[in-house]
Amino acid sequence: MKVLLQTAAAGLLAVTLSACGDKAGEQRADGQGNEPVNIAQDVAGAATGVASGAVGAVSADAFARDAAIGGLYEVESSKLALTRSKNPDVIATAKMIIADHTLANDELKALAAAGKAPSLPTSLDERRKGMLDNLTGAAANDFDDRYLDQQTMAHHEALLAFNGYARMGDNADLKAFAAKHAPKLEAHAEMVTKLDRSTNADDEAGSGKSAKANALGKAAHDAKH
């Protein structure tokens, strides 16, 4: 199982970096100021995230930390989407993510309060703060694309950790938590990937990114088999 997890993580990392790298190239070609810098930061964050997700799959402390911070990021980034996006489908997806991750966050906090899970962080790490900063700084006509890109990466990162910990975790309560919420994460991942594909269907870059998004989904899916 550990070998399969490492293989899935490696595949996820490769296609994530490729997808983000292609996007940065597109922005450079368009001559948009700070966008390439911000996208490059997200690329670096994706590499860190994949490694973090793989570690979180086998360590109670790492899993609890990543699940808590990841959940906070999902809620905060999606709240930002409610104020920045003009796309009804993106707004509806953001509302769903907020509702589902708030429930999961509260459940994880309850486990920690009962002594059934390690202590949890209460604020974002520097990586997720940077991702939020990049979303905040995104141009109005680019926000949806950036939000969906980040959501795709974040949910597949979380799936590596949740699916892996549900199979290999060393804390029974956290294993049950991971197994309970992994299907919801997978549903979110599929939804944001499909929405990302639909918003880019009219251009060649979108078609290329769609193929990579499908590969992202396959890599994360492989982590649970």
Q: What is the pLDDT of residues 122-150, one digit of tens each?
A: 999 999 999 999 999 999 999 999 999 99
- Confidence tier at 28 by pLDDT (50, 70, 90): very low
From residue 139, give the alpha-carbon distance in Å to each of 19, 107, 112, 171: 20, 35, 39, 43
Amino acid at 70: G
The helix, strand and coil proportions of the chain, stated in percent and rounded to the nearest 5, come to 85, 0, 15
pLDDT tens track for 54-76: 554 678 999 999 999 999 999 99
Are 9 and 223 in contact, with CB atoms under 8 Å apart? yes
Q: What are the boundaries of each domain within the chain?
A: 2-222
Which residues, 6 or more positions from 202, have their beta carbon under 8 angstroms from its beta carbon?
A: none
Helix (H, G, I), strand (E, B) or coil at 170: coil
pLDDT of residue 18: 47
pLDDT of residue 9: 44
Are 159 and 193 in contact, with CB atoms under 8 Å apart? no
pLDDT of residue 59: 87
The pTM assigned to this predicted structure is 0.74
CATH number of 2-222: 1.20.1260.10
d(CA 224, CA 159): 8
Rounding to the nearest 10 degrees, give the CA dihedral for residues 26, 28, 34, 36.
60
